[in-house]
């Protein structure tokens, strides 16, 4: 350890750092900030939808809010949060001293804040920010877009570049820097799910870049990729977008699967059931994600053969996903369970994600989707998978590893309070949305018919509760860092397994300078 | 340690190539492939290019109804409508019709008609030997024109398709044409 | 916020009651009800099939869910460390793993069969009795009834909910946001084919009760069909984000008996012929003032006042717009004023009516400009935009 130095002093430490723990922390804090920003947009949406009629915002601004909420949450909060977790944890989990490309790691983080500053800045531009939904379908996002769309495209490009660099770094690390003896089938599942996620990222983020480049060319250089007038086709945009978009939703959820596969065994004090099948299930989900994209477009007027193909392929996803859920529960079966905050979030994840999976199966049935498509039923479905999936898993990870990061213990009752309030608020927000969706309420509308009023009011109340519970999360994190009980135990949880638990808490600035031997 | 650095660089280079290739894939594979699939499968009811009839054999046993529909994009101010809205034709026969167009504006304009066929799976059986949609259509201020369409419904049209709707959407491309000219 | 205790009580009680009676097959054909929690089976055969399919998958999910969650809850309760549970150490079992891969797969096949059947029926648009071209505009729908003789009937259908209701100045009516000035009228028992397209951006034409949802794509036509079994009024909304007023372009379908439909269509055709005739007529100031006043008193008075004194809208009496350039006044009536409560009337009224009400605005309430606006002036203005 002698030749290593501790962190540099002062602010330049954070700008110039190439240390994976520093960069991981930067990612995590950045994503938290974006989570609160995207959350405040959601609060505006739910406040407007509290009652029928227009009370707070005009429809134009409402559309900007729904768009920015989606973009910020997907690209600013969830993705960087898991990249941050990967940066922090993967080198420690595989016994590597750092990421494979530390310099690039620094760049891939530091181009993110400018990208999102530009994106958020569009809200203050003439004509307002992006108002065409996070899926930015042409021609609403091209011919009919506000002038700020050029900045939006620029922002997406930078953010995509950051993701690609991050993903390359993660793959290069996992492939080349595992400790001696750590074969692929001995890697922790978080590492496995991230390896697969990173391949998805490298494959589809360039497709997103291609889509926005075409938009840029249509808007400024007179091409007609997406305009029928010049021989193009607006539906082509949707195909390209969802060719990126469907793998993207697995990019969001796979690392969450990984985290849960660590936490459930730890608190069940029993090894993960079906490790091999977990790996194969993850890989097959990733593969399937490339051939199901058009299930987002059942109503667009595809040939019936196409509809059938995408319907069959989509229902198949239920098989590996179900296997995962059974594996998690069987891990708990005949274990010795305790219910600290990370475990509560992990169980909450399994329950709610399963519900999201069920509605996903319903949505995959093309004829029924003619009634579900673009309603609140879809909104409820993807929030059950994204919020209760990705965000719950993320919260679980923070409580699971925060002692390893800070050397301090969080307050267990405060953590549990965070979980229960989140769980209540989340379900109150999104469960009624299944009902209004089935009853016929379209998504992305600032105002609605009277018969939807009661469930919407419940939904808004739930959203405010859920929103408030995240402030409690912020408080818990800060309180732990500043005044949590100091404790230098290496192994925070008695049932936890893995190399990260063999280094002291907090983990030193440099870990595994000498690779450990894995049996 | 040296080999590990080499390996990392090698992995990185490979992945960078994949990323660049995927970016290129969108432009050089997805877009042309989509267009080919559209023409072959009739996605969106897009029709193919000019058709060269090899031999004319008329199926006199059945008749198919062909409907014509005119649509406008945005504020396209032209008058534009089919001279006949519905007609019964024999598969295999060459048929002719015209669309009536009128430019009421005090300025010269250029339009492009975009065809679309419904049901979409009929698109590959609907052949146009002559169509005003193959070209841009300029009309001077106040001018009227009869725009011709010559078409053949393929004899292989599936028997269960009894009605084919051909829609033309008229786009104002005056500005686009001026931009490329200047 | 007037949030009464009674309301709160309802908020808690109603769902409890409803949840007990959920998912029966009760018929809520016409439109969504308060506390409705399920999809409508609707009034068409396809709608019923979709509903049955939805319920089939739903119950499969419920039963699977009960199994999965029972297993989870049992594991949570039975193997608590606090109760002294000791953990076993097994971590794989090939038989079980194969079983829970194969069983879901078989269930999926069972679902795929009816889904495929229904989908093929939805796609069978042939042999329609009636073809209606539906065009989505920002932010209204246009309907065109295709006619064998080229006498297509076409009209626009706009939201008819008052701005005052939306901005909470007035009480909201029963069909708030789900009402239009011109519903699309169709006969019952006939196969109706909808050809769906768009004028500008993507829209999606959706009426839950008749189980039709089709995206409207500018430049291309899509098709769908329905056969409505019961007369009634069926309401729906645009289902694809299309810009600012996406939430304000509803769809209302009036399904009526064939005779009633025939009469309606004949009347439509007669009216179209009449307007065509009036277009070329020159009206006198008195004629226009009389006709214009009648329209003003029904369509404008709510916002602009009985004496043109203004209210939600600006005053008409002495208004610089009403007494300024004629084209300025025509413009604001035809296109509305974006960002204000003034809607675009260009497609809500025909040119004859617009000319009358514009003449009234220029000459009524002491404005006395003395000029007469003719239908052809409005027509020319619209053409010249």
- Local structure of B128: helix, strand or coil: strand
Q: Identify the bridge partners of residue C205 per DSSP, sorted by sequence position.
A: C214, C238
Of residues C306 and C84, more confidently modeled: C84
Residue whose C-alpha is closest to residue C321's, from C337, C306, C305, C307: C337
Residues of chain A neighbouring B182 (CB-CB closer than 8 A): none
Looking at domain C130-276, its CATH class is mainly beta
* Chains adjacent to C (≥3 CB pairs closer than 8 angstroms): A, B
Residue whose C-alpha is closest to residue B110's, from B161, B164, B66, B174: B174
pLDDT score recorded for residue A222: 86
Terminal-to-terminal C-alpha distance of chain C = 45
Q: Which of A262, A295, A403, A418 does the annotation list as catalytic?
A: A295
How many other CB atoms are found less than 10 A from the CB of residue A30? 21
Q: Could C92 and A276 be called an inter-chain contact, meaning their C-beta atoms sit closer than 8 Å?
A: yes
C-alpha pair distances (Å), B77 with each of A97, B73, B110, C202, C385: 69, 9, 12, 21, 8
Q: From CA A39, how far away is CA C152, in angstroms rounded?
A: 50
Quote the tokens at residue B114: 């975009």
Q: Identify whether A321 is a catalytic site residue.
A: yes
CA neighbours closer than 13 Å in the CB half-sphere of residue C327: 6
Q: What is the mean pLDDT of chain A?
A: 95
Q: Which of A138, A140, A143, A172 is the best mutation test for B, with the most CBs of B within 10 A? A: A172
Task: Measure in Å the smallest separation between the Cα of B47 and chain C Cα atoms.
Answer: 11
Residues of chain A neighbouring C17 (CB-CB closer than 8 A): none
Question: Tens of pLDDT along B27-41?
Answer: 999 888 888 887 777
Residue whose C-alpha is closest to residue A517's, from A186, A128, A81: A186
Task: Measure in Å the smallest separation between the Cα of C82 and chain A Cα atoms.
Answer: 7
B169 touches chain A (CB under 8 A): yes
The backbone torsions φ and ψ at residue A458, rounded to the nearest 5 degrees and listed phi first, read: -55, -45
Which A positions 202-231 lie with beta carbon below 8 A of chain B?
202-207, 209-211, 214, 222, 225, 228-230
pLDDT score recorded for residue C152: 86
**CATH 1.10.760.10 residue window(s) in chain C:** 280-384
Quote the tokens at residue B155: 């004899």
* Chains adjacent to B (≥3 CB pairs closer than 8 angstroms): A, C
Q: From CA C178, how far away is CA C201, in angstroms rounded?
A: 21
Task: Measure in Å the smallest separation between the Cα of C342 and chain B Cα atoms.
Answer: 21
CA dihedral of C236, C241, C247, C251, whole degrees rounded to 10: -30
Region A140-145 average pLDDT: 93
Of residues C201 and C344, more confidently modeled: C201
Q: Could B44 and C150 be called an inter-chain contact, meaning their C-beta atoms sit closer than 8 Å?
A: no
Task: Measure in Å the smallest separation between the Cα of A176 and chain C Cα atoms.
Answer: 29
* Helix, strand, coil in percent for chain C, rounding step 5: 45, 15, 40
Contact C118/C46 with Cβ under 8 angstroms? yes
Q: What is the CATH number of domain C21-81+90-123?
A: 1.10.287.90
pLDDT score recorded for residue C301: 78
Residue whose C-alpha is closest to residue A41's, from A74, A15, A84, A2: A74
Q: Identify whether A383 is a catalytic site residue.
A: no
pLDDT score recorded for residue A518: 87
Dihedral (CA of A261, A263, A267, A270) sign:
positive
Terminal-to-terminal C-alpha distance of chain A = 23
Quote the tokens at residue B60: 């006199």
Structure confidence at residue C322 as a pLDDT band (50, 70, 90):
confident
Region C344-356 average pLDDT: 80
Task: Measure in Å the smallest separation between the Cα of B23 and chain A Cα atoms.
Answer: 5
Quote the tokens at residue A406: 């800070």
Q: Is the pLDDT of residue C385 over 70?
A: no
Contact A401/A341 with Cβ under 8 angstroms? no
Q: From CA A53, how far away is CA A335, in angstroms rounded?
A: 53
Contact C217/C201 with Cβ under 8 angstroms? no
**Which residues, 6 or more positions from C236, have their beta carbon under 8 angstroms from its beta carbon?**
A440, C205, C206, C207, C208, C209, C250, C251, C252, C253
Where does chain C have alpha helices with state H? Answer: 5-20, 45-78, 94-123, 163-166, 258-279, 285-295, 301-304, 326-335, 351-363, 375-384
Region A91-97 average pLDDT: 96
Q: Is the pLDDT of residue C335 over 80?
A: no
Residues of chain B neighbouring A240 (CB-CB closer than 8 A): 26, 30
**Which residues, 6 or more positions from A263, have their beta carbon under 8 angstroms from its beta carbon?**
A342, A343, A345, A346, A396, A397, A400
What parts of chain B have a pLDDT lower than 70?
Answer: 1, 42, 44-48, 53-54, 181-182
The kind and range of the H/E element at B34 are helix B31-41
Contact A463/A388 with Cβ under 8 angstroms? no
Contact A163/A205 with Cβ under 8 angstroms? yes
Where does A292-411 have alpha helices with state H? Answer: 304-316, 318-332, 341-364, 366-372, 376-385, 392-406
Counting residues of chain C whose pLDDT is more than 90, the rounded percentage is 53
The model's pTM is 0.90
Highest mean pLDDT among A349-363, C11-25, C91-105, C265-279: A349-363
pLDDT score recorded for residue C22: 47
Question: Tens of pLDDT along A44-73?
Answer: 999 999 999 999 999 999 999 999 999 999
Quote the tokens at residue A415: 């953590």
**Which residues, 6 or more positions from C256, have their beta carbon under 8 angstroms from its beta carbon?**
C185, C186, C187, C188, C231, C264
Q: From CA B108, how far away is CA B141, in angstroms rounded?
A: 5
Question: Tens of pLDDT along A347-361?
Answer: 999 999 999 999 999
Q: Identify whether A162 is a catalytic site residue.
A: yes
Say yes or no: domain C280-384 is CATH 1.10.760.10: yes
Residue B79, Cβ density class (10 Å: 0-12 exposed, 13-18 middle, ≥19 buried): middle
**Which residues, 6 or more positions from C77, have their beta carbon under 8 angstroms from its beta carbon?**
none
Structure confidence at residue A1 as a pLDDT band (50, 70, 90):
very low
CA dihedral of A254, A256, A257, A259, whole degrees rounded to 10: 130
Q: Which residue has the tokens 């052809």?
A: C376
- Local structure of B98: helix, strand or coil: strand
The backbone torsions φ and ψ at residue A9, rounded to the nearest 5 degrees and listed phi first, read: -90, 155
Structure confidence at residue C347 as a pLDDT band (50, 70, 90):
low
Helices A234-268 and A392-406 cross at an angle (nearest 10°) of 50
Q: From CA A155, how far away is CA A136, in angstroms rounded?
A: 14
Q: Could C38 and A435 be called an inter-chain contact, meaning their C-beta atoms sit closer than 8 Å?
A: yes
How many other CB atoms are found less than 10 A from the CB of residue C262? 12
pLDDT score recorded for residue C145: 95
Highest mean pLDDT among A366-375, B44-53, C330-339, C376-385: A366-375
Of residues C279 and A411, more confidently modeled: A411
pLDDT score recorded for residue A4: 54
Of residues C329 and A360, more confidently modeled: A360
Residue whose C-alpha is closest to residue A67's, from A166, A148, A143: A148
- Scanning every residue of chain A, which has its alpha carbon at the shortest distance from the alpha carbon of C89? A270
Question: Tens of pLDDT along C153-197?
Answer: 988 898 999 888 999 999 999 999 999 989 999 999 999 999 999
Question: Tens of pLDDT along A206-260?
Answer: 999 999 999 999 999 988 899 888 888 999 999 999 999 999 999 999 999 999 9
Question: Tens of pLDDT along A388-445?
Answer: 999 999 999 999 999 999 999 999 999 999 999 999 999 999 999 999 999 999 999 9
pLDDT score recorded for residue A95: 95
Q: Is the pLDDT of residue C317 over 90?
A: no
Region C55-69 average pLDDT: 96
Region A157-166 average pLDDT: 97
Q: Report the DSSP pairing between strands C184-187 and B109-118.
A: unpaired
Structure confidence at residue C20 as a pLDDT band (50, 70, 90):
very low
Of C125, C126, C219, the CB nearest to B73: C219
Instruction: Kindly list the strands in the beta sheet with C212-216, ordered across the sheet, starting from the edge strand earlier in the chain.
Output: C184-187, C250-256, C232-238, C203-207, C212-216
- Local structure of B110: helix, strand or coil: strand
Looking at domain A22-502, its CATH class is mainly alpha
pLDDT score recorded for residue C10: 52
Of B77, B104, B118, the CB nearest to C221: B118
CA dihedral of A148, A149, A150, A154, whole degrees rounded to 10: 110
Q: Is the pLDDT of residue C324 over 80?
A: yes
**CATH 1.10.287.90 residue window(s) in chain C:** 21-81+90-123
Of C54, C90, C101, the CB nearest to A368: C54
**Which residues, 6 or more positions from B158, have their beta carbon under 8 angstroms from its beta carbon?**
B121, B125
Q: Identify whether A324 is a catalytic site residue.
A: yes
Q: Identify whether A443 is a catalytic site residue.
A: yes
B116 touches chain C (CB under 8 A): yes
- The gap from C-alpha C105 to its chain's centroid, in whole angstroms, comes to 39
Looking at domain B48-181, its CATH class is mainly beta
Q: From CA C142, how far away is CA C220, in angstroms rounded?
A: 16
Q: Identify whether A134 is a catalytic site residue.
A: yes
Find the radius of gyration of the CA atoms of chain C.
Answer: 28
Q: Is the pLDDT of residue C270 over 60?
A: yes
Residues of chain A neighbouring C32 (CB-CB closer than 8 A): 439-441, 449, 451-452
Structure confidence at residue C348 as a pLDDT band (50, 70, 90):
low
């Amino acid at each position: 350890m002698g030749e290593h130095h501790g962190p540099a002093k002062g602010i330049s430490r954070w700008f110039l750092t190439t240390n994976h723990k520093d960069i991981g922390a930067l990612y995590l804090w950045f994503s938290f900030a974006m989570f609160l920003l995207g959350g405040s947009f959601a609060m505006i949406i739910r406040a407007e939808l509290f009652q029928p009629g227009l009370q707070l915002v005009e429809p134009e601004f409402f559309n900007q809010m729904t768009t920015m909420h989606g973009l910020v949450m997907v690209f600013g909060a969830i993705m960087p949060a898991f990249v941050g977790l990967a940066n922090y944890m993967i080198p420690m989990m595989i016994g590597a001293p750092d990421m494979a490309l530390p310099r690039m790691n620094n760049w891939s983080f530091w181009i993110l804040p400018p990208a999102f500053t530009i994106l958020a800045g569009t809200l203050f531009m003439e004509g307002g920010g992006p108002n065409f939904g996070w899926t930015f379908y042409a021609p609403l996002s091209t011919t009919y877009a506000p002038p700020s769309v050029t900045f939006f495209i620029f922002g997406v490009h930078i953010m995509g570049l950051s993701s690609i660099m991050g993903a390359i770094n993660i793959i290069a690390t996992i492939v080349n820097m595992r400790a001696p003896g750590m074969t692929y089938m001995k890697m922790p599942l978080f590492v496995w799910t991230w390896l697969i996620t990173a391949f998805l990222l490298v494959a589809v983020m360039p497709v997103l870049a291609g889509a926005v480049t075409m938009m840029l060319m249509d808007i400024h250089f007179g091409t007609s990729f997406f305009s029928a007038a010049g021989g193009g086709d607006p539906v082509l945009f949707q195909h390209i977008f969802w060719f990126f978009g469907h793998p993207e939703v697995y990019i969001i959820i796979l690392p969450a699967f990984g985290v849960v596969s660590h936490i459930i065994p730890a608190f069940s004090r029993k090894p993960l059931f079906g490790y091999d099948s977990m790996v194969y299930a993850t890989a097959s989900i990733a593969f399937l994600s490339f051939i199901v994209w058009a299930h987002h477009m059942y109503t667009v007027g595809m040939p019936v053969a196409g509809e059938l193909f995408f319907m069959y392929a989509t229902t198949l996803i239920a098989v590996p996903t179900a296997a995962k859920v059974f594996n998690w529960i069987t891990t708990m079966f005949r274990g010795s369970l305790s219910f600290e905050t990370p475990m509560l979030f992990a169980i909450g994840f399994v329950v709610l994600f399963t519900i999201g999976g069920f509605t996903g199966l319903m949505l995959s049935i093309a004829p029924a989707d003619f009634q579900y498509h673009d309603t609140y039923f879809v909104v409820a479905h993807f929030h059950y998978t994204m919020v209760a999936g990705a965000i719950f898993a993320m919260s679980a990870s923070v409580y699971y590893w925060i002692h390893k990061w800070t050397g301090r213990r969080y307050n267990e009752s405060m953590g549990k309070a965070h979980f229960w309030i989140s769980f209540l608020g989340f379900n109150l927000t999104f469960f009624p949305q299944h009902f209004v969706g089935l009853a016929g309420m379209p998504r992305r509308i600032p105002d609605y018919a009277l018969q939807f009023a009661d469930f919407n009011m419940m939904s808004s109340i739930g959203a405010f509760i859920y929103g408030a519970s995240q402030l409690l999360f912020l408080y818990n994190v800060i309180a732990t860092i500043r005044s949590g009980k100091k404790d230098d135990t290496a192994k925070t949880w008695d049932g936890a397994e893995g190399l990260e638990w063999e280094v002291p808490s907090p983990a030193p600035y440099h870990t595994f300078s000498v690779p450990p031997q894995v049996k | 340690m040296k080999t590990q650095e080499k390996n990392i660089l090698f992995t990185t280079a490979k992945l960078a190539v994949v990323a660049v290739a995927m970016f290129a894939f969108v432009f050089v594979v997805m877009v042309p492939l989509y267009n080919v699939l559209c023409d072959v499968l009739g996605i969106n009811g897009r029709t193919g290019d000019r058709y060269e009839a090899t031999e004319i054999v008329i199926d006199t046993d059945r008749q198919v109804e062909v409907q014509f529909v005119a649509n406008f994009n945005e504020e396209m101010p032209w008058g534009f409508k089919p001279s006949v809205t519905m007609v019964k034709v024999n598969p295999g026969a060459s048929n002719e019709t015209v669309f009536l167009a009128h430019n009421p504006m005090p300025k010269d304009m250029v339009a492009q008609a975009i065809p679309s066929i419904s049901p979409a799976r009929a698109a590959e059986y609907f052949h146009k030997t002559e169509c005003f949609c193959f070209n841009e259509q300029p009309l001077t201020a106040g001018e009227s024109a009869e725009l011709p369409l010559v078409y053949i419904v393929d004899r292989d049209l599936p028997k269960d398709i009894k009605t084919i709707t051909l829609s033309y959407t008229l786009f104002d491309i005056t500005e686009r044409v001026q931009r490329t000219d200047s | 916020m007037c949030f009464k205790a009674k309301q709160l009580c309802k908020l808690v009680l109603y769902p409890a009651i409803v949840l007990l009676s959920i998912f029966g097959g009760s018929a809520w054909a016409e439109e969504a009800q308060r506390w409705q929690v399920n999809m409508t089976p609707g009034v068409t055969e396809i709608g019923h099939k979709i509903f049955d399919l939805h319920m089939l998958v739903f119950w499969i999910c419920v039963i699977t869910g009960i199994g999965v969650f029972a297993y989870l809850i049992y594991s949570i309760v039975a193997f608590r460390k606090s109760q002294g549970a000791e953990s076993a150490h097994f971590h794989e079992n090939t038989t079980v793993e194969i079983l829970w891969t194969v069983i879901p797969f078989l269930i999926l096949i069972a679902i795929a069969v009816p889904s495929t059947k229904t989908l093929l029926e939805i796609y069978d648009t042939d042999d329609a009795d009636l073809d209606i071209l539906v065009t989505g505009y920002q932010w209204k729908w246009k309907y065109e009834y295709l006619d064998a003789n080229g006498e297509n009937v076409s009209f626009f259908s706009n939201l008819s909910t008052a701005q005052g209701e939306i901005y909470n100045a007035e009480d909201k009516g029963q069909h708030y946001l789900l009402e239009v000035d011109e519903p699309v009228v169709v006969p019952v028992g006939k196969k109706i084919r909808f050809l769906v397209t768009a004028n500008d951006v993507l829209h999606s034409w959706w009426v839950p009760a008749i189980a039709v949802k089709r995206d409207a794509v500018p430049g291309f036509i899509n098709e769908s069909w329905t056969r409505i079994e019961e007369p009634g009024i069926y309401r729906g909304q645009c289902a694809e984000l299309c810009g600012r007023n996406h939430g304000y372009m509803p769809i209302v379908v009036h399904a009526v008996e064939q005779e009633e439909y025939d009469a309606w269509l004949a009347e439509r055709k007669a009216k179209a012929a009449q307007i065509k005739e009036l277009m070329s007529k020159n009206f006198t100031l008195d004629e226009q003032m009389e006709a214009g006043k009648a329209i003003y008193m029904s369509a404008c008075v709510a916002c602009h006042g009985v004496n043109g004194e203004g209210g939600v809208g600006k005053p008409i009496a002495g208004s610089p717009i009403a007494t300024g350039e004629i084209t300025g006044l025509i413009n604001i009536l035809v296109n509305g004023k974006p960002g204000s409560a003034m809607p675009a009337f260009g497609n809500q009224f025909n040119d004859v009516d617009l000319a009358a009400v514009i003449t009234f605005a220029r000459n009524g309430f002491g404005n006395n400009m003395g000029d007469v606006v003719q239908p052809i002036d409005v027509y020319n203005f619209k053409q010249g935009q």
